[in-house]
Structures are given as structure tokens and as C-alpha cells.
Structure 1
């Protein structure tokens, strides 16, 4: 079991990234966290270092700060709502693959954890635009020279209490979480479980590369 893990997190100013960051700061297995953000997260912690960088399509000026890490928890992403396929492809596929390629060169022994989504289309041929793009992103990440690549496909995620970047609609839905979990067990987890599952696969691996909600919940139990 590998302890004293050093991890990079992207997207920590969003709800998912903030939740994953919270679990990393709580975990005794994580000794250092590097955030790559466009704006400050507002979080301070002895484990935490933050690099503020405006252009994620050009990382050459900060590449020297990205080596020596065991994992990347890639939580950066945009909603497909209101976006055409070209723009969504650029912000989802092109951006993710560029950052991942930079990190794979700097850290060939890195475990790369990508937050995808329930319903992602691995065939890349379905009718749903976002699912096709996410599917291609997953598939091409798997071919990069990392130690391991895992695609996490969460559905509804119950937010972690006390965090500030919770999306507004969750405030109206959170009270229904026990009902959702009971009726839709293959679609509902917590943000806490996602973070714990990422730490678990970094430490001990997992036989599947694509992790659905049931896998996330199973892994989180091993972390606790």
C-alpha cells in the first residue's frame, strides 16, 4: 500500500473539485496537494500549494512545478447545456487531453483519475453529444503513458456539508437524497464517496478502468 501520496487537483473552484480537495485534506494518506486554478480557491492548509494560471491550453510556463506527483484528480469540466459540439469538444476533449499529456511527461508513474459522467458513450457513436465527447475523452486518456487511468462516472452526487461551491439546484434537491439513494442506487452517491474512491484507487488500484456509481461506493467503503 502506497502512502504519503502527492496529488494534483484541477477544477477545485467547482463543486466536484472542491469536494475532492476536502477529502484529500482530510486523508492521512495524502501529504501534499497542488491545485492548478485560474482563480484562488480561498482554501488554506499546510498540505496545500496553489498555482494560479490563466491559460490552461498553454502550461509551458508552469511545467517545472508539475513533476513529483503520484496522482491527478481531474475535476475540471463544463456543462454541455447551451454549448455547440465544437466548443464543448474543445473545452472537454482538447483541454483534458492537453493537460493530461503534459502531466504524463512530467509524471510517468502517475495515476490519472478523470471525472466523466453516468451515461458516457464509450462507442463515441451515440446520439447524445456530450456522451460521445466524454466517451472519446475517456478512450484517448486510456492510451496515454500513465501508470493507470481511471474514468469515474458519477451520477447525482450529494454535496458535502459546509463547502461553498455547491450548485444552486442542489439546495432544492438535497433533502431528497435518502429517497434518491434508496430508489436509484446505481445513480446516486455522495461527493465524499467520490473523493474517497479516488484516493483508494491511487493507493491500491482497481480491476476496472471505468468506474460506475456502484464501483465508487464500493471503493469508498474500503477507504473508511
Structure 2
């Protein structure tokens, strides 16, 4: 399986990249982003590209791939709806629409979030936008679309969040997360489990398109 990865330098993307490089059935990982991951691996090809709203300059390198894992995203904290919509909805659909035109046989895995609002009518801004994004992706004629809705995520293997507030939270709560995971396995997931779940869904399919925390951990 050949994988296209967006967001490989973020916390979730780092976890997904690690699992892809470890998986013997993933033969190539093409990472697209504004910065390099800092990793060297025979399976890893990195493409520096500043504007993911326009993939046309690199389109010839993206067509012969089996699955896309889209792990780009930002926190809604401090953002108005228009700005958050542009980064979350517009950017995701710009990438997905281009890829679907290049190769509709590709599967598309999208990192959404627990509480995403499929009705698009709720009071919570970020949940509405995430739900709108999910719905739009499901309308694209990919081979399959998988929508992952993780909540709390425990970073493993030295992976750290790039968001300062999240780093502080993980530092404070880190010692308690293994106990929480043991007492209530589906109250959180890990970067390793999420990466493995995305690979499994792309390779073998999933029971449904929308995958909540319990589904992620089962995969």
C-alpha cells in the first residue's frame, strides 16, 4: 500500500507516520507539507509544498497512491468561524477534490474530532464546521472515506504536540493517562492506536464511515 500523508509534523501525523513506516505492507509514504519531518527512511518521500490549496504543481506525484491520510488541523481556540472554516473545511476539500480527480480509487482518511456535528446546525462552531467537512467528504466518489473522531489522545514514543497549551496539559496529566486507559480503555486512544486504525481501515475497510473512539481502538 502506498500512502499519501498530510500533517506529518503534527502530533497525530507523527504517530501515523511512525506506524506507516513500521508497517511491512506500507511500501511507500509520500508526505506533503510546508516543513520536513526530520526523518530519514527508505519508504519516506517528502514533498515541500507551501500552498495545499493548490496541489497542481505537484499533482503528477500524487496520482499513483492507494490512500490519503489527512491529519492537518488547527484548534478553534481564538479563531472566528470564517477563519476556522477556511482552514478546516476549505483546505480539506481543496485537497480531497484534487485527489479524487486524480485517482478516485484512492481511499481518504480524515482526522475529525469527537463531538463533530453531522447536522451542521448545533451551537458549537468547531463541531458544525467539522460536521460540514465530514459530510462534504462523504459526497466525493472516493473508493472509501473514513472519518476518525478521536477525543483525548495520549502521545507515545517521544511524540509531542506542537500546541503549547496541549503540551502543558499533557505534562500535567501524563502520569494519570495510563491509569485512565487501564480503567476505561475507550476514554482515550494513543497516537499508536490511531495510526494503526487508519492503516487498517485503508487496507481492510471499516464497519462504518464514521469511527468514534471505541471504533478506533477496536480497529
TM-score range, shorter-chain basis? over 0.9
Query: Which shows bigger deviation, 6-15 or 186-195?
Result: 186-195
Match of 1:71 in 2: 67
Q: Are 1:100 and 1:141, in contact at CA under 8 Å, matched by a contact in 2?
A: yes
Task: Check if 1:29 corresponds to 2:25.
Answer: yes
Deviation at 1:80, TM superposition (A): 0.2
* Separation in structure 2 between the aligned mates of residue 215 and residue 55 of structure 1, nearest angstrom: 33
Partner residue, 2:189: 189
CA–CA distance in structure 1, aligned partners of residues 85 and 29 of structure 2: 28
CA contact (8 A) 2:186 2:217 kept: no
Say if 1:164 and 1:119 are closer, same or farther in 2 by CA, change over 3 A: closer
Following the alignment from structure 1 to structure 2, what is the Cα–Cα distance between the partners of residues 164 and 133? 26
- The answer as to 2:96 corresponding to 1:107 is no
RMSD, aligned CA? 1.3
1:90 to 72, 77, 86: 86
* 1:157-204 deviations in Å (ceiling 9; x for gaps): 110222355651322222111233245544311110000001111111
Kindly indicate whether the alpha-carbon contact (under 8 Å) linking 2:160 and 2:167 is maintained by their aligned counterparts in 1: no
5 Å-filtered alignment, 1:116-135, equals: 116-135=112-131
Matched with 2:7 is 11
- 2 CA distance for matches of 1:44 and 1:134? 33
The corresponding residue for 2:167 is 168
**Contact 1:66–1:103 under 8 Å retained in 2:** yes
**CA distance 1:164–1:179, shift in 2 (3 Å):** closer
Indicate the larger mover: 114-123 or 177-186: 177-186
Structure 1 stretches lacking a partner, 5+ long: 220-224
CA distance in 2, matches of 1:182, 1:196: 19
Give the structure 2 partner of residue 43 of structure 1: 39
In structure 2, distance between residues paired with 1:32 and 1:172: 37
Long gaps (5+) in structure 2? none
